[in-house]
Amino acid sequence: MSAVSERFSQCCARYGTEPAERSITVGGVGLHLHFSDQLLAETTKISLNFPAVGSDWDLYIYRDQFPKAVRNREENSYLFHRDDERIFGTFGFDTVFEVDFAAKEGYVCFDADKPVPFEFQCHPLRILLHYIMRVSGKLLLHSAAVGLGDTGVMLSSCGGRGKSTLALSSLIYGLDYLGDDYIILSRNSHRAEMLYTSGYLTPVSLQMMPTLKPYACAKDSSRDDKTLLDLSDFKNSFSTGFTVGAIVFPQISESNQPAIKSVSAQIPTAHLAVSTAAQMPDPDKNEFIAAVMGAIKGIPTYQITLTRNLEANSAVLAQLIKKLKEEKNK
């Protein structure tokens, strides 16, 4: 029994909880998840709704007393320590994690005196998966993505520019859905894969897509009531992965007619790299940004001007993807 699993078992015994297990495969990596209680296991089922194909890593998710050094911080900074085999860190005020690369083992520990963070429900294990993907030849990116069959586009920008709305409206209007906030990208082949099977929308965007209202399952009171969507009824429209033919930079406008045009890589790629680095607390941001830029090198960049007509926005995007497919098949 490893030190982490022993600590996990002791924690379950101390709090008298019944542990639960799930196996899933994310980005081609098999994960065996150990939860200290059934509630934690249930919490992950909406956003990590993948079948299991093998098991490479053991990840432990539990609640425990927090070290004072984590609890008593005044600023929302991150603490890190790493050596050759492991990386420890904090995420926000309420999460401590560790990844042991040699043992292929990790844990996420939440403060037992606080509710489980909403972030864990929407984007479970994000920080662990960031590190696990990095050692698996892939990167976890802050981006949405939609496609048609074997070809798709990444919708990339910092928050608040319409990428989730465009991704989820594209799902409604017939495109394949890969993600609205985070995706996995191979470091050497421009191939994108799904990371989360859920959606996460602002109330304003949800008002614009009444079709999705029945799928709202939780609200994030800490982030202006952003709403988690259970998209399992749309699983036939989930992409199993595609080649990214373009990075599309959304631009909200008052125009009546959506438009898409080729633009310099300078702004879209910088938005993708910086917003991703900001979302993945990593001690070496310089090296990480270089890795992101290396992974997306050579992907053409476009800007889409979005209107309030979501169907028209999605149609313009679909036209671009069809054009990219034709070019790819020439």
- Report the interface residues with other proteins, using CB under 8 A: 3-4, 6-7, 67-70, 75-83, 86, 88, 96, 98, 158, 264-267, 269-271, 273-275, 277-278, 281-283, 285-286, 289-290, 293, 297-298
CB nearer other proteins, residue 70 or residue 259: 70
Structure tokens at 93: 């005020």
CB nearer other proteins, residue 41 or residue 270: 270
In contact, 98 and 86? CB cutoff 8 Å? yes
Tell me the closest approach of the beta carbon of residue 277 to other proteins, in angstroms.
6
Tell me the closest approach of the beta carbon of residue 98 to other proteins, in angstroms.
7
The dihedral over CA atoms of 329, 170, 250, 180, expressed in degrees to the nearest 10, equals -100
Tell me the closest approach of the beta carbon of residue 148 to other proteins, in angstroms.
26
Tell me the closest approach of the beta carbon of residue 123 to other proteins, in angstroms.
16
CB nearer other proteins, residue 208 or residue 263: 263
Report how far residue 311's alpha carbon sits from residue 316's, in angstroms, rounded to the nearest whole number.
9
3-state DSSP call for residue 232? helix
Tell me the closest approach of the beta carbon of residue 298 to other proteins, in angstroms.
7
Report CA-CA distances (Å) from 293 to 185, 262, 278, 314. 12, 19, 14, 27
CB nearer other proteins, residue 5 or residue 237: 5
Largest separation between any pair of C-alpha atoms in the chain? 63
CB nearer other proteins, residue 297 or residue 328: 297
Is 221 exposed, middle or buried, given 0-12, 13-18 or 19+ CB atoms closer than 10 A? exposed
